[in-house]
Amino acid sequence: MAPQTLPPLALAYHGVADVPLRRDLGGLFVRPGDLQRQIERLRQWGYRLVTFGELAQAAAQGRAAGLAALTFDDGLVDNHETLVPLLRAEGIPATVFVVSGWLGRTYPWGPWTRLMTADEVVDVHRAGVEIGAHTVTHPDLGTLSREGAFSELARSRADLAEILGAPVDVASYPFGVAGPDTLAACADAGFRAACRTSGEGSWAEPLNLPRQAMTNRGSMAALWLKRDDRYEPLMRYRPVRLARRLVRKVRATAG
């Protein structure tokens, strides 16, 4: 596939650490070596790596083909300790979406680690990583009214802008959930672009852009399917889902 025909691609990660599957039940941590191999594969395919904000701007202008963005939700401390050095070594940018009300706290889905502090978020920003908002308390915004979603998004944006001393104008929706009220609230809060997960959304809608979720021990074959937006449709077939669960169970048992 020639670089000019590559579809735009946004990948959604969380933590960057070697966590056994038996501990990481949500598959939220990717090993640094796996991330490096995925970056290498993206480059082999011909992608140019950009921030999510740059990808969103290019998509709005109809020129996002051949661009890929690495994004990291929640704001885990390993984004500061491990991700930034990895990005620097690779010479590429990325975007971290931070839950502004969780700064410095224990991570709910990984009690062995924590979220970045405000100072660490500033360090990551100064290292050239784009910082985006991921709400204040990480709720399912689809369960909230437009006003409730607006409060979560606007407060998160304001909190992070104050911490950074710089504008924050991109966001990601917790759990990838965004209904019509959520999209309207995001616009009301002043964001220019926002994204979901699991391939949901549209490249024609700046506040509803799709991302593909990357998981612990994910294969290169899965990355290829996600590149072409074929992974989620394939997972709708029950035999494929069962086979995937079996593979994950075997891998978790093996550690």
> pLDDT tens, 156-182?
999 999 999 999 999 999 999 999 999
Residue 122 DSSP symbol: H
For residue 28, what is the domain's CATH number? 3.20.20.370
43-49 contact pairs (CB < 8 A, 24+): 45/1, 45/3, 45/6, 45/227, 46/1, 46/2, 46/3, 46/6, 47/3, 47/6, 47/9, 48/3, 49/92, 49/93, 49/94
CA distance 98 to 28: 15
For the entire predicted model, the pTM comes to: 0.92
Tens digit of pLDDT for each residue in 206-219? 999 999 999 999 99
pLDDT computed for residue 237 by the predictor: 54
Q: Is residue 29 a contact partner of residue 179, using CB atoms and an 8 Å limit?
A: no
Total domains, the chain: 1
In a domain, 35, yes or no: yes
Spatial separation of the C-alpha atoms in residues 8 and 154, rounded to whole Å = 28
Q: Identify whether the C-beta of residue 235 lies closer than 8 Å to the C-beta of residue 244.
A: yes
Between CA 159 and CA 193 the distance in angstroms is 18
**Spatial distance between the Cα atoms of 139 and 147, rounded to a whole number of angstroms:** 13
Spell out, as residue ranges, where the chain has pLDDT lower than 50: 1-3, 240-244, 246-248, 250-252
Task: Please count the helices (runs of H) and the strands (runs of E) in the chain.
Answer: 10, 12
Residue 182 domain boundaries: 3-229
Give the per-residue pLDDT at 247: 42
Give the pLDDT score at 235: 72
Task: Give residue 39's pLDDT.
Answer: 98
Cβ 177 vs Cβ 152: under 8 Å: no
Structural domain includes residue 29: yes
Q: Do the beta carbons of residue 47 and residue 110 sit within 8 Å?
A: no
Q: Residue 205 domain-assigned?
A: yes
Q: Which two tokens stand for residue 49?
A: 């790596």
Instruction: Tell me, yes or no, whether 239 lies in a domain.
Output: no
| Residue 244, in any domain of the structure | no
What is the separation, in whole angstroms, between the first and last Cα of the chain?
A: 36
Q: Which residue shows structure tokens 């616009």?
A: 187
What pLDDT does residue 5 have?
87
Residue 242 lies in a domain: no
Whole-angstrom distance, CA of residue 115 vs CA of residue 119: 11
Q: What is the pLDDT of residue 238?
A: 54
Pick left, alpha or beta for residue 108 (phi over 0 → left; psi -120 to 50 → alpha; otherwise beta): alpha
Is residue 246 in some structural domain? no
Closest CA to 192 of 176, 174, 216, 208: 208
Q: Within 13 Å and on the Cβ side, how many CA atoms surround 198?
A: 12
- Helices 220-227 and 32-45: angle between axes, nearest 10 degrees: 50
236 inside domain: no
